[in-house]
Amino acid sequence: MNRIRQIILLFALIVPILTACGNQAADSPASSTATVSPGASTSGDGVDRSKLSDELYFYNWSDGIDPEILELFEQEYGVRVIYDTYDSNEALIAKLRAGNSGYDIAVPTDYAVQIMVEEALVQPLDKSLLTNLRHIDPNSLGIYFDPENRYSVPYLHLMTGIAYNREFFPNGVDSWAALFDPANLPAIQGKFSMLDDERETPGAALQFLGQSYNTTDPALLQQVQDLLIAQKPFLAAYNSSDVNRKLASGEYLIAHAWSGTAMQARNGLGDEFSGNPAIDFVIPKEGGSIGVDNLVILDNAPNAYTAHVFINFLMRPEIAARNAVYTGFITPNKDAVPLLPQEVQDLYAAGFAPNEELLKRLEWTKRSAETAVFADLWTAVKGE
């Protein structure tokens, strides 16, 4: 079976599985992030502690991991995780292309893995050190960008759509017209954002125009460029980093957003900020995107052995469940699913995770020689 079709089937199964596990999860100790245990003991886990480094350098998306997980890793292995963030795949790749980044692990989205492999920015994984791969759903493995998972391990699944405050939109939102139709923009001027991403934002504009997310027809891309330039004066910002906080606080009324970001805005983020229960998330009727972020070890990683140990740690079901609750994104860890709390399951069923109907409107970001034109388009829009 085609691997992309398989992962779509995996998404279609998530909500029914969660519903079936609901009663068990609600009573489970893992239903609270404060009570999830760190997992395996410090002995007999196959880790050669003499090979561990004192520090590990982790480069990840903003708000891309529960900080307490980093503390649990340090408690168990004595390794301090130095954590830095970025807010786009392009920023990540640019940093690595410059050389001598000093990072060990990064978290590129699917198409970016393909770029990084082709440019020798990542190293092959030693799967003998990744024993917890057995917990990953097989349908999340072998995807087009790394067919043998030689370089990457799936970390979190995501969708891209619209997050909005239903107190301002009492009738809901169902179309990209909410962000692109000139008639709708004055009412939300300075109160909405688009993702700062050269594929996501043009892709949303293409879908508004009734076209594929991956269309490269020059005439259509000129329409997209014109549409984005016309929208730009009404924007608060192109923002991929703190949309969650601005939605939660009411500074943004609506935003182009990832599903996990929207859930963070609704539920809050640990001790950092309180959530806003009025935040909802929708995949517009014209379509949205689907993707997966992945853990990779960089080609010049100074602490490659420790990086493997950390990735294996993140694949423990109780750790993966805890991380899914914190980040709001969807875990590919099949054995973590029964550990998710009822609140998360209910939000998945309410549209923060896809069902069969939603899947029909989702597209993958494709990469080819032709899609390089999106970089030029984005430069033109940002420079206007």
For the chain, give every domain's residue range.
3-157+292-346, 158-290+360-383
Q: Is 174 exposed, middle or buried (0-12, 13-18, 19+ CB in 10 A)?
A: middle
- Tens of pLDDT, residue by residue over 63-111, are 999 999 999 999 999 999 999 999 999 999 999 999 989 999 999 999 9
Banded pLDDT at 40 (limits 50, 70, 90): very low
The pLDDT of residue 36:
40
Banded pLDDT at 42 (limits 50, 70, 90): very low
The pLDDT of residue 311:
98
Residue with tokens 């420079």: 383
The pLDDT of residue 10:
55
Q: Which CATH architecture has domain 158-290+360-383?
A: 3-Layer(aba) Sandwich (3.40)
The pLDDT of residue 384:
87
- Tens of pLDDT, residue by residue over 131-160, are 999 999 998 999 999 999 999 999 999 999
Q: How far is residue 279 from each of residues 64, 173, 203, 275, 328, measured CA to CA in Å?
A: 20, 12, 23, 9, 13
- The CATH number that domain 3-157+292-346 falls under is 3.40.190.10
Q: What is d(CA 102, CA 303) in angstroms, rounded to the nearest whole number?
A: 9
pTM, full prediction: 0.88
Same CATH fold assignment for domains 3-157+292-346 and 158-290+360-383: yes
Residue 17 has pLDDT above 70, yes or no: no
Q: Is 35 exposed, middle or buried (0-12, 13-18, 19+ CB in 10 A)?
A: exposed
The pLDDT of residue 363:
95
Q: What is d(CA 146, CA 123) in angstroms, rounded to the nearest whole number?
A: 12
